[in-house]
Amino acid sequence: MANRKGGTGKSTSVWATGQCLAHAGHRVLLVDADAQRNLTRCLPLVSADKHLTNVVNGSATLADMMQPVGEGLWLVAATDSLVAAEKVLGADMAYPMLFRNSLDGLENLVDYVLIDTPPSPNSPLSVAALTASTKVFIPTQPELFSFEGVQSLLELIGKIKKNYNPVLAIGGIFLTKYSPTYRRNLHHSFVAMMKEHPELGPLVMETSIRDNVAIAEAQVQRQSLYETAPHSNALVDYEALTKEILAALTT
C-alpha cells in the first residue's frame, strides 16, 4: 500500500485487508515501514526486541523479526528508532534492495506480505518496499491533494519499474472515506475526474471504503473488525476490497 500523501487510509487498509486475508485462511505478514507506527499501534502488543530497525541495519531478516498478532497473521513492527535508521539507510547505495534481500526464508512461512509505506516523497523505505513488491495498491481520498499524490506516486513507480523492479505493477487505486451515496458533490466531481483520466481511470477499483467509526473503535482496542464489529459497513467494504485485491494479484 502506498501514497505520497498521508491520511489516505494506507495503514488502516493494510491492517484491515491483512485481517481479511488471514480470516480467509491465508498466511499474512504485515510490515510496518512507516516511522509513524500507526499499523503497529492498532495491532496486539508484541515484543519490543523484534522490530524493523533490525532489518534496516542488516542484523536480521523479516523472517527473524515477524511476530504473531492473530491467527494466520504476523507483524514486523516499527519503533521510534526507525526514523534514524532510515536516514542511515538512505546513504547506502544499495538501499532499494533492502526488502527484496530480506524476503529470504518467507516462502514457506507466509502467502502474502503487505507493506505499509511512509508517505514521504523521498523515503528510502518506500522505494525499497516498491522494489520488492509485485503489486502496489493506492488508497486515496476524493480531494485535490490526494489526487496529486497519486499522480506523483505513479511517476515514482515508473522509475522503480524501469531501474529496479520490472515486474512491479499497479494493482489498483481505491477510494477511502467515500461512497457514491454521500451528499458531497465536490467529492463526486473528483471521482468523476479520476475515472475519466486516461491513465488513472482504468486503475480505479470498484470497491470504495465508507467512513465508519467501527474502524477507530477496533484500532483503539487493538482488535480486528471480526472481533469488534463483524456486521459493520467497514468490514463489508474491506472484505469486498480484499476480493478485488486477490483477483488483481492473479492477473
CATH code, domain carrying 154: 3.40.50.300
In a domain, 61, yes or no: yes
In a domain, 2, yes or no: no
User: 144: which 3 cell numbers?
Assistant: 485535490
Average pLDDT over residues 49-64: 95
In a domain, 178, yes or no: yes
Of residues 230 and 200, more confidence is placed in 230
In a domain, 92, yes or no: yes
Task: Please state the domain count of the chain.
Answer: 1
Per-residue pLDDT, 250: 85
Is it the case that residue 97 has pLDDT exceeding 90? yes
CB distance 238 to 16 below 8 Å: yes
**pLDDT tens-digit series, residues 161-208:** 999 999 999 999 999 988 777 766 767 777 787 788 778 889 999 999
In a domain, 1, yes or no: no
Domain that holds residue 91: 10-249
Any alpha helices (H) in the chain, and if so which ranges?
Answer: 10-23, 38-41, 52-56, 62-65, 82-89, 98-102, 124-132, 144-163, 185-196, 213-220, 225-228, 233-249
Share of the chain above pLDDT 70, in %: 97
